[in-house]
Structure 1
């Protein structure tokens, strides 16, 4: 990948606005856009990238360009074309001229990304509390499943590169390097304790020992499937109400 550092010109398809919807333009907007850059003063423009030619799959959360809203401090970038590179942990932002810029997720408070195929919106956040489990997790964007005053549940999507393996006798006959998607759920409990959890009834009740009986009765009465993220969100919302 060839990267050169440039000043990021005001050429996003959307407009940069303040939280109060005050619009910025010209040089003032340009100066704010550069805050998302990889070196703190300018964004890196990705001109050409053939690192993964011949690799099965792709490093992105969604391979298609998706419309997104980016929150950074009191600034909001609206209607931006975005890809989230899970492998390199970088946001790629395409402007109206077709140039693709790299931005650091660590500088983003929240990313609202709409899947261009399913139209599902994913709310992705930088969860600083997860740094207690792994400092690198706090520098990534996680999908918000449930956020309450007592507990929070996040889905951390990642991609790893699985190398080809076809020569050894025990190989799986993988003839190509391949990107493999993985996801982990993290529950943040009172006191910002971070737990990597598998979605099951047993694990949810174990994580909420002080209200097990009430939560278990609610799960049974509502017939909630705790093998799903939506089931956990319902159960955690009930826990918050106790």
Structure 2
């Protein structure tokens, strides 16, 4: 295990030097602690030629990974949502999410939660008085559809986003649709009041970046 981990670090470092980018860096604690936090397995190329991608970010970038023990590592990589693992750029290695607490990239923090033995990748869009509005990031894999020589169906496998909004309250998560009716029910106010307040504030209920500002109107 230790030999594999050291090889992994060397691989990342050489790759970074070749590209003139930041490599695998521990931002606190020791390398041994990071080794205990991760299990490493080989990444394959099974998704070559597939439409779309299984990743959280559109491209590989510098990210910070924090473990449950408080250790942090910084490297150029991405998060494979479909495989539930962190991928190192040009290293062909994947780090499963068992010990990962959160991932930071593009100025945003994504938390790793576990619900019914399934990993959830979420971001907090709004913190209310007694609830949190979360966005859960998911990907689904759809196989190509063939129905004959002149098939009009999808002829290539593809990944599609399947993200979802959730309300976290009292340690329970329930699906949430960001519309006038759901907001009215959430705060116990008439639907017409919700519509009018949003209109008067020149906010757009369709824009995710404005969700928090909209909810603040009723707090």
Say yes or no: TM over 0.5: yes
Q: Matched residues in 2 for 1:160 and 1:5: separation?
A: 35
Match of 1:37 in 2: 38
* 1:66 pairs with one of 55, 61, 67: 61
Q: How many residues align?
A: 205
Q: 1:105·1:141 contact (CA, 8 Å) conserved in 2?
A: no
Q: 2:112·2:121 contact (CA, 8 Å) conserved in 1?
A: yes
Deviations 1:126-145 (CA, angstroms, capped at 9, x unpaired)? 245xx3xx542xx2221221
Q: TM-score, normalised by structure 1?
A: 0.70
Per the TM alignment, residue 220 of structure 1 is displaced from its structure 2 partner at its CA by 4.2
Match of 2:78 in 1: 83
Instruction: Give the direction of change, closer, same or farther, for the CA distance of 1:50–1:99 in structure 2 (3 Å limit).
Output: closer
Instruction: Give the direction of change, closer, same or farther, for the CA distance of 1:158–1:44 in structure 2 (3 Å limit).
Output: same
Per the TM alignment, residue 30 of structure 1 is displaced from its structure 2 partner at its CA by 2.6
For structure 1, the 5+ residue unaligned runs are 19-23, 115-120
1:109 aligns with 2:119: no
Per the TM alignment, residue 34 of structure 1 is displaced from its structure 2 partner at its CA by 1.6
Match of 2:130 in 1: 150
Per the TM alignment, residue 124 of structure 1 is displaced from its structure 2 partner at its CA by 0.5
Match of 2:5 in 1: 8
Q: 1:6·1:45 contact (CA, 8 Å) conserved in 2?
A: no
Q: 1:153·1:188 contact (CA, 8 Å) conserved in 2?
A: yes
Instruction: Give the direction of change, closer, same or farther, for the CA distance of 1:176–1:89 in structure 2 (3 Å limit).
Output: same
| Aligned partner of residue 181 in structure 2, secondary structure | helix
Q: Matched residues in 2 for 1:123 and 1:183: separation?
A: 16
1:177 aligns with 2:131: no
Q: Matched residues in 2 for 1:105 and 1:167: separation?
A: 38
Q: 2:64·2:74 contact (CA, 8 Å) conserved in 1?
A: yes
| Aligned partner of residue 235 in structure 1, secondary structure | helix
Per the TM alignment, residue 74 of structure 1 is displaced from its structure 2 partner at its CA by 4.9
Q: 1:204·1:232 contact (CA, 8 Å) conserved in 2?
A: no
Instruction: Give the direction of change, closer, same or farther, for the CA distance of 1:202–1:172 in structure 2 (3 Å limit).
Output: farther
Match of 1:164 in 2: 144
Match of 1:21 in 2: none
Instruction: Give the direction of change, closer, same or farther, for the CA distance of 1:223–1:32 in structure 2 (3 Å limit).
Output: same
Per the TM alignment, residue 147 of structure 1 is displaced from its structure 2 partner at its CA by 2.7
Instruction: Give the direction of change, closer, same or farther, for the CA distance of 1:102–1:219 in structure 2 (3 Å limit).
Output: same
Q: Matched residues in 1 for 2:86 and 2:46: separation?
A: 17
After superposition, the CA RMSD in angstroms is: 3.1
Instruction: Give the direction of change, closer, same or farther, for the CA distance of 1:76–1:161 in structure 2 (3 Å limit).
Output: same
1:125 aligns with 2:111: yes
